[in-house]
């Protein structure tokens, strides 16, 4: 079942997911698209409660639309709520979405969204609006290279998000989506008065240091299937249940892979002296007792 570089794979629990041959990666590889989206985004971010309590529309940035499992799961799990939802999806290609639509029956998560998604998949710059349960949904598609878009003036005029579903491929195969400049820009685009959380499936020290240095508060995220831990970042500690603590910081100092990527090239390096100094000044750690003497190389 291979077309345009994508194929369907059956996961251990019997669910189907999409695989990219070019990246040699399966989307939502452990427990499948719907279960992962429910655990990582909907339940972990308490999206039902946040959307129900929102004043006006609830804005979600969906970074890496892919086969649309994340935004569709979010919509399905909140469709009884009245608050309007505005989705803005970013991707550089519509191929995985078109592939998924052709295999909607096997994937099983399109439900009644097939018609709006077919319209969304029809081209660039699409904004579609439709009624979903008790509320209105507005869904904009922004097609192009996400790091380049962040550097453009277009992005500054977009509605500020309450939540970001951040789901590119892994840092090793998609390094341009995991650099410190990218997350600094993303953080700078948030509205400080609008609490916003960004969960992602990685729990790597490199990613967590990157998010902290970009300005986010960062915590341990819940498990998704076989992954015992994920990561949640936010522009306020109030949205994070388990903030990374000083013992984590000390482990990061000793890690052989903690220094953020500054260029879109994957590599593993220990923390630089400058990054270590900046981490210690981060408000998440600055109030905590000093991390103590170095156990590794002098910084």
Ligand X SMILES: C[S@@+](CC[C@H](N)C(=O)[O-])C[C@H]1O[C@@H](n2cnc3c(N)ncnc32)[C@H](O)[C@@H]1O
Q: Which residues bind ligand X (CB under 6 A)?
A: 27, 33, 64, 66-70, 90-93, 96, 145-147, 167-169, 174, 176-177
Minimum distance from CB of 55 to ligand X (Å)?
28
Query: Of 62 and 259, which CB lies nearer to ligand X in the complex structure?
Result: 62
C-alpha distances (whole Å) from 80 to each of 76, 77, 87, 98 are 9, 8, 17, 28
Comparing CA positions, the residue from 72, 259, 83, 292 lying closest to residue 179 is 259
135 phi, psi to nearest 5 deg: -135, 170
CB of 26 to ligand X, least distance (A): 8
State the minimum distance, in angstroms, from the CB of residue 18 to ligand X: 7
Helix (H, G, I), strand (E, B) or coil at 266: coil
The nearest distance, CB 36 to ligand X, in angstroms, is 8
Nearest residue to 213 via CA among 279, 258, 276: 279
Query: Which residues on adjacent β-strands are paired with residue 26?
Result: 19
Give the residue with the Cβ less far from ligand X, 70 or 275. 70
Closest CB 41 distance from ligand X, rounded Å: 10
Q: How far is CA 65 from CA 95, 200, 252, in A?
A: 10, 14, 31
3-state secondary structure 36-57: HHHHHHHHCCCHHHHHHHCCCC
In the bound state with ligand X, the residue whose beta carbon lies nearer, of 59 and 87, is: 87
Q: Of 141 and 206, which CB lies nearer to ligand X in the complex structure?
A: 141
CB of 72 to ligand X, least distance (A): 8
Comparison of 70 and 230: residue with beta carbon closer to ligand X: 70
| Separation between Cα atoms, residue 212 and residue 217, nearest integer Å | 6
Q: Which is nearer to ligand X, 21 or 299 (CB)?
A: 21
Residue 224 near residue 271 (C-beta atoms within 8 A) = no
Q: Side-chain half-sphere of 146: how many Cα atoms within 13 Å?
A: 28
Residue of this chain nearest to ligand X (CB atom): 66
């Amino acid at each position: 079942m291979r077309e345009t570089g994508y194929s369907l794979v059956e996961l251990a629990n019997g669910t189907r997911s999409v695989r990219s041959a070019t990246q040699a990666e399966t989307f939502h590889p452990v427990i499948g698209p719907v279960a992962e989206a429910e655990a990582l985004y909907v339940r972990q971010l308490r999206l039902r409660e946040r959307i129900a309590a929102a004043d006006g529309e609830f804005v979600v940035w969906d970074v890496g639309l892919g086969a649309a499992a994340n935004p569709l799961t979010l919509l399905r799990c909140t469709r009884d709520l009245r608050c309007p939802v505005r989705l803005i999806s970013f991707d550089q290609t519509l191929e995985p979405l078109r592939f998924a639509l052709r295999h909607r029956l096997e994937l099983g998560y399109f439900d009644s969204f097939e018609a709006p998604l077919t319209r969304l998949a029809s081209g660039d710059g699409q904004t579609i609006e439709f009624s979903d349960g008790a509320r209105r949904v507005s869904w904009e598609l922004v097609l192009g290279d996400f790091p380049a878009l962040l550097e453009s003036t277009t992005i500054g005029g977009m509605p500020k998000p309450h939540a970001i579903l951040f789901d590119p491929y892994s840092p090793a195969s998609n390094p341009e989506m995991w650099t410190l400049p990218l997350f600094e820009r993303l953080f700078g685009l948030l509205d400080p008065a609008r609490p916003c959380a960004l969960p992602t499936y990685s729990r790597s020290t490199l990613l967590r240091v990157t998010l902290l240095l970009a300005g986010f508060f960062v915590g341990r995220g819940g498990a998704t299937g076989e992954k015992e831990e994920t990561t949640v970042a936010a522009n306020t500690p109030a949205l994070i249940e388990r903030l990374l603590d000083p013992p984590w910081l000390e482990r990061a100092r000793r890690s052989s892979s903690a220094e953020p990527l500054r260029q879109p090239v994957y590599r593993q390096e220990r923390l630089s002296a400058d990054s270590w100094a900046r981490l210690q000044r981060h408000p998440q750690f600055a109030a905590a007792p000093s991390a103590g003497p170095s156990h590794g190389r002098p910084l």
